[in-house]
Structures are given as C-alpha cells and as structure tokens.
C-alpha cells in the first residue's frame, strides 16, 4: 500500500467531519465523494463504496446525523449533517493531525508549508 | 425505491446482490443501505453518460470507481455488526425489565392485583409506559421497534390485571 493510501485511510474520519463542518449543510454520499475529490484535485482517489461504511460508523457514533429526503416513489436520498459531538471530534482530530504533521516534518527535516 | 433507468437494473442488481451476500443486517437497515448505494450508482452512471460515454462504458466506470461488491459488503457488515450485538442485548433485556417492573407495579406486596383504576393512577406506571415507548425509538430509531415494545407492554399489563389468579 502506498503512503498516499495509508495516509488517506488513516485520515478519512477527520476528512469527512471537516468537509461536512465546512459545508455547513447536509450532503449525500455521492456529493461528498465528488467534493472530496475536487478538493484534493484528484490526488486522493476514493474507492467510492468504502465511504458508506465510514459514514454509517460516524452516524452510529453520533458524530453525524442522517436523514432521508424525498418521498416514496421518487428519488430518495440520505443526507448527512455533522452533529455537535462531530464538531468536537473534528477539532480534536485536527489538533492531533497538526501535531503529528509537525513532528513528522521535524523528524524528516522538512519545513512546514514547503 | 428510486426509479433508475431500466437498462441499468441488471448490472446494479448484480452488484447489490454481491454486497448483500456479505451482510447480515435486519431487513429495514439492509433496505436503506441498498437504496443509498443504488442511488449512488445511478448518479455515477448518469454522470459518466453525461461525459459522453455509452451505456456499457458508463456502467463499467461507475462500477470500477465504486469498488468490489464483496469488499464493500464486508465493510458495511463490520460497520453495523457491533451495534447489532448491543442492540440485540437491549432488545432482549427490555421486555424482561418491563415485565419485572410491571409485576411490581400491578401487584400489592401481599400478592393481590391492584386493578385498573389503581394501576392507572400510579405515576410510576406511566413512566414505565413512556420508557417502553421512547427507549426503542431513541436507541433503534425505528418506530416499528417502539410499537412492538409498546404492544408488548400493554399485553403484559392486560394479562397482569385481567388474570390476577395466575399470580404472575
């Protein structure tokens, strides 16, 4: 597995929470994936089907709230919104990520932001 | 259920069947998961078509980007599996706790049944009734579970009050 893949897997939770926090509106699975790929400018290729188990885990942990929109017989979609618990988790994860990145950069002798 | 293009039904159904074989979820959850994934695949297919691909290539691209059904099914199963166990414990414990509390409420210490007027006038009875209804809603987010627990609660109540001679 490439470093890129490993990093993506380890950070999917914070990436999803961050996206939904910044979006400030409910988003559905396909829309989330498209937005993530656009933001990473194609650097991260998400295996789309594997986003759903992660979304469901976050939902059951109370970090996301999901609601179905649309009536029976028409297109129905499950929209995800970040909860207050999700926002707190995002802050914690972002802080952890920044510390991690800083220490790795120091170990590798790479200047942050370069 | 979404109404996808008829030409898409077969390949989507095959992929969904591959996912389904890896999961062991309750019917309602499985239906929701399948509806969500079907919607995803239909939109991915429509977008690939909009980029100028023919049906076959559009589907091939949508399926490739989605990933293998088996792998996704296993991941979905794992994502839901832990909660299934916890839910099962709570679902099994709730009727038992309900029956014990109800028995305590419906009978006086000497073993005689209280009867409807006395039972219905006890605030504790209504607290238990409310818990029997709300706990399943909050825990399982399924009205079906709540109604089943609620029906069980009232069935027990009727049995305790109507057949006191049984000395439950």
Crossing angle of the two packed helices A51-60 and A29-39, in degrees rounded to 10: 110
For the cut 60, the answer to whether the pLDDT of residue B79 exceeds it is: yes
CA distance A37 to B5: 26
For the cut 50, the answer to whether the pLDDT of residue B62 exceeds it is: yes
Sequence-separated (6 or more) residues with CB below 8 Å from residue A5: none
pLDDT of B1 reads 44
| Averaged confidence pLDDT in chain B | 80
Q: What is the pLDDT of residues A1-33, one digit of tens each?
A: 566 666 666 788 899 999 999 999 999 999 999
Q: How confident is the model at residue B158 (pLDDT cuts 50, 70, 90)?
A: confident
Residue among B37, B39, B79 minimizing CB distance to A57: B79
CA distance B131 to B9: 44
Across B119-137, average pLDDT: 83
Q: What is the least distance, in Å, from the CA of A96 to any CA of chain B? A: 24
Crossing angle of the two packed helices B143-162 and B69-106, in degrees rounded to 10: 20
Residue among A28, A52, A78 minimizing CB distance to B76: A52
Is B77 domain-assigned? no
Q: A49-58, B9-18, B122-131, B141-150 — which is least confidently predicted?
A: B141-150
CA distance B24 to B29: 10
Cβ separation B80–A56 shorter than 8 A: yes
CA distance A105 to A111: 6
Sequence-separated (6 or more) residues with CB below 8 Å from residue B108: B114
pLDDT of B3 reads 45
B101 and B63 belong to one structural domain = no
B61 and B101 belong to one structural domain = no
Is A113 domain-assigned? no
Sheet holding A64-69, edge to edge: A27-28, A77-82, A64-69
Residue among A28, A50, A68 minimizing CB distance to B75: A50
Q: Residue A29: which domain range?
A: 3-108
- Using a CB-CB cut-off of 8 Å, the residues of chain B touching A73 are 1, 3
∠ CA A76-A81-A87, nearest 5°, is 165
**What are residue A46's DSSP bridge partners?**
none
- Using a CB-CB cut-off of 8 Å, the residues of chain A touching B76 are 52-53, 56
B115 and B56 belong to one structural domain = no
Cβ separation B75–A48 shorter than 8 A: no
Q: Can you list the positions of beta strands (E) in A1-114?
A: 27-28, 64-69, 77-82
pLDDT of B123 reads 86
pLDDT of B84 reads 57
B157 and B96 belong to one structural domain = yes
pLDDT of B92 reads 72
Cβ separation B65–A29 shorter than 8 A: no
Across B80-94, average pLDDT: 69
What is the number of structural domains in chain A?
Answer: 1
What is the number of structural domains in chain B?
Answer: 2
Q: pTM to 2 decimals?
A: 0.67
Percentage with pLDDT > 90 across chain B: 20
pLDDT of A82 reads 96
pLDDT of B40 reads 94
B107 and B143 belong to one structural domain = yes
Nearest Cα neighbor of A16 from A51, A53, A47 is: A51
Is B78 domain-assigned? no
Which residues, given as ranges, of chain A have pLDDT below 70? 1-9, 72-73, 112-114
Q: How many CB pairs under 8 A join A and B?
A: 69
Across B90-106, average pLDDT: 77
Q: What is the least distance, in Å, from the CA of B43 to any CA of chain A? A: 8
CA distance B110 to B131: 27
Nearest Cα neighbor of A18 from A94, A99, A83, A109 is: A94
Q: What is the least distance, in Å, from the CA of A59 to any CA of chain B? A: 10
For the cut 80, the answer to whether the pLDDT of residue B145 exceeds it is: no
Q: What is the pLDDT of residues B5-51, one digit of tens each?
A: 555 667 888 888 889 998 888 788 888 999 999 999 999 999 999 99
Across B134-141, average pLDDT: 75
CA distance B46 to B49: 5
Q: Residue B88: which domain range?
A: 84-166
């Amino acid at each position: 597995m490439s470093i890129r893949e490993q990093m993506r897997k380890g950070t999917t939770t914070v990436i999803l929470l961050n996206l939904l926090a910044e979006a400030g509106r409910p988003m559905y699975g396909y829309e989330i994936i498209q937005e993530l790929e656009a933001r990473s400018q194609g650097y991260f290729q998400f295996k789309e089907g594997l986003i759903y188990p992660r979304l469901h885990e976050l939902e059951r942990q109370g970090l996301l709230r999901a609601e179905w929109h649309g009536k029976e017989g028409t297109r129905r979609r499950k929209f995800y919104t970040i909860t207050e618990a999700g926002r707190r988790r995002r802050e914690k994860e972002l802080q952890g990520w920044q510390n991690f990145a800083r220490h790795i950069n120091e170990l590798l002798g790479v200047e942050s932001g370069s | 259920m979404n109404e996808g293009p008829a030409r898409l039904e077969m390949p989507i159904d095959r992929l969904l069947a591959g996912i389904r074989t890896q999961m062991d979820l309750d019917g309602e959850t499985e239906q929701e998961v399948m509806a969500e994934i079907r919607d995803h695949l239909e939109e991915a297919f429509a977008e690939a078509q909009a980029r100028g691909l023919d049906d076959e290539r559009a589907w091939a691209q949508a399926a490739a980007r989605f990933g293998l059904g088996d792998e996704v099914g296993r991941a979905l199963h794992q994502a839901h599996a832990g909660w299934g166990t916890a839910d099962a414990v709570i679902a099994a414990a709730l009727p038992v706790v309900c029956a014990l509390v109800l028995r305590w409420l419906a009978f006086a210490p000497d073993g005689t049944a209280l009867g409807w007027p006395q039972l219905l006038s006890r605030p504790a009875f209504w607290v238990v009734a409310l818990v029997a209804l709300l706990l399943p809603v909050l825990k399982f987010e399924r009205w079906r579970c709540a109604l089943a627990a609620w029906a069980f609660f009232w069935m027990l109540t009727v049995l305790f009050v109507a057949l006191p001679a049984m000395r439950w």
